[in-house]
Amino acid sequence: MTFTERALKILKYNRLTAIGAGIVLLVILVGVFAPVIAPYDPNVIDVPHRLGAPALKHLFGTDEMGRDIFTRVLYGCRISVSVGIAIVCVSAFFGILFGSISGYAGGKVDNVIMSISDMVLSFPSMVLALALTASLGLGLFNTMLAVSIVKIPVYVRLVRGQVLSLKQRQYVKAARTFGAPPFWIIWKHIIPNSLTPIMVQMTLGLGDAILMAASMSFIGLGAQPPTPEWGAMVNSARAYAIDQWWYAAFPGLSILVTVVGFNLLGDGIRDILDPKSKQG
C-alpha cells in the first residue's frame, strides 16, 4: 500500500486523525488569512469599550485596552503556530546534523556530542529553557532559540540510533567501498532512510513546542506586550480573569484546540509512517 493510500485509509477510518487534520488545516488557514478575517486592527486601543463582554460587535469581548480579543486571537494563531513550527524545524535540523555526525563518526566525536546531549537532558526542559532565555534576554526570538536548544538532544538521540543501525546496511557499506565521502553517504543514504521517525517526532513535538513557548510568554519571558501571542494574552488577562472570564478563556482555549489538533494528527502520522508502532 502506498503512502497516499495508507494516509487516505487512515483518515477515512480513524476519525480522530481526521479531526486532528481538520483542526490543523483550520488553524493554518486562520493564521494565513488573519488580516482578511479579522474585523479590527489587533493593536488599536479603544478605551471606552474596555473589558467588554462577548457580543456581536466583539465576538470574544475586549481587553483592558478595548482591543478586540477575537482579532488578537486570530493574529495570535499566526505567532503561536509559526513559533511552534520554527522550534521544531530548528531543533530537528541541528538534531539531524549532530546525531548523524555522532552516529557515523563514532569514537571521541560521538562521546563528546552525546555527553553534551546528556548534559542538556539532565535538566528539566522547562527550567533550562527558562534559564537560557533569561541569559539570552527576554523576547520571542530568544525564547524560540532557547526552546529549540532544549529540544535538540531528543533528535540527536533519535538520529544517532538510526545512523548506528543504518551504517551497517549493505548499501552504506557499498557506498563506502566505492570511496564516497562520509557527508555524501549521510546526506544521500542515511538521512533519507531515517526520515520516518524524525517526521513522527516532529509532528508529535509540535504541540509540545507550542505549549512550551506559550508558557514562557505567560511567565513574561517570551512575547512582550502588545504582541498578540496566546500565552502572553493569558498573562495579561490574569489580573482581570476572575471578573472578565472571556479575556483569559478564548486565548487559552485556542492553545488547547490547536495542540489537540497537532497531537491527534501526530498520532495519525505515526500510524501512517510507522504502522508497526500503532498502539492498540
Partner 1 sequence: MFSFHYIRNQIIHLLLVLIGVSIITFALSHVIPGDPARMMVGDKASAATLARARVELGLDRPLTEQYYKYVTGLMHGDMGISIRSQQPVSSELKKFFPATLELTLSAMILAVIFGIILGVVAAVHRNKWPDHLCRIVSLIGVSTPLFWSGVVALIIFYKWIPIFPASGRLDTFMTPPPQVTGMYILDGLFAGQMDVVLSAIHHLILPAVCLAYVQLAIIARQVRSSMIDVLEEDYIRTARSCGIPTRRILYHYALKNALLPTVTIAGLTLADLLSGAIITETIFAWPGMGKYVVEAITFLDFPAIMGFTMIVSCVYVFINFIVDMLYRFLDPQIREVDK
Take residue 224 and report the three cell numbers written for it.
512582550
- 259/273 with CB nearer partner 1: 259
Instruction: Answer yes or no: are the C-beta atoms of 77 and 58 closer than 8 Å.
Output: no
For partner 1, which residue of 26, 164, 180, 249 counts as binding (CB under 8 A)? 249
From the list 44-52, 63-71, 190-198, 246-254, the region that binds partner 1 by CB under 8 A is 246-254
Q: Which distant-in-sequence residues (6+ apart) come within 8 Å of 249 by Cβ?
A: none
CA terminus-to-terminus distance, the chain: 21
Give how many residues touch partner 1 by CB under 8 A: 47
Instruction: Answer yes or no: are the C-beta atoms of 125 and 153 closer than 8 Å.
Output: no
Distances (CA, A) of 126 to 122, 254, 257: 12, 21, 22
- 173/278 with CB nearer partner 1: 278
Min dist. Cβ of residue 137 to partner 1 (A): 8
Q: Is 259 in the site for partner 1 (CB under 8 A)?
A: yes
Residue 173 CA to residue 89 CA, distance in Å, equals 30
Min dist. Cβ of residue 259 to partner 1 (A): 4
Sequence-separated contacts (24+) of 52-61 with Cβ below 8 Å: 53/244, 53/246, 54/246, 60/246, 60/250, 61/244, 61/246, 61/247, 61/250
**Cis amide bond preceding 226, omega within 30:** yes
Min dist. Cβ of residue 230 to partner 1 (A): 8
From the list 30-38, 106-114, 167-175, 239-247, the region that binds partner 1 by CB under 8 A is 239-247
Min dist. Cβ of residue 218 to partner 1 (A): 4
- 71/254 with CB nearer partner 1: 254
Amino acid at 229: E
Amino acid at 223: A
Site for partner 1 in 102-141 (CB under 8 A): 115, 118-120, 122-128, 130-132, 134-136
For partner 1, which residue of 10, 237, 265, 273 counts as binding (CB under 8 A)? 237
Q: What angle do CA 146, 152, 153 make, to 5 degrees?
A: 125
**Mutual angle of helices 15-32 and 245-273, in 10-degree steps:** 120
- 194/217 with CB nearer partner 1: 217
For partner 1, which residue of 31, 95, 252, 268 counts as binding (CB under 8 A)? 252
Binding mask 159-198 for partner 1 (x = CB under 8 A): ----------------------------------------
Site for partner 1 in 212-231 (CB under 8 A): 214-215, 218-221, 231
Helix ranges (H only) for the chain are: 3-13, 15-32, 34-37, 69-105, 107-121, 125-136, 140-166, 170-177, 182-185, 191-218, 230-237, 245-273
- 70/230 with CB nearer partner 1: 230
Q: Which residues bind partner 1 (CB under 8 A)?
A: 115, 118-120, 122-128, 130-132, 134-136, 207, 211, 214-215, 218-221, 231, 234-235, 237-238, 241-243, 245, 248-249, 251-253, 255-256, 259-260, 263-264, 279-280
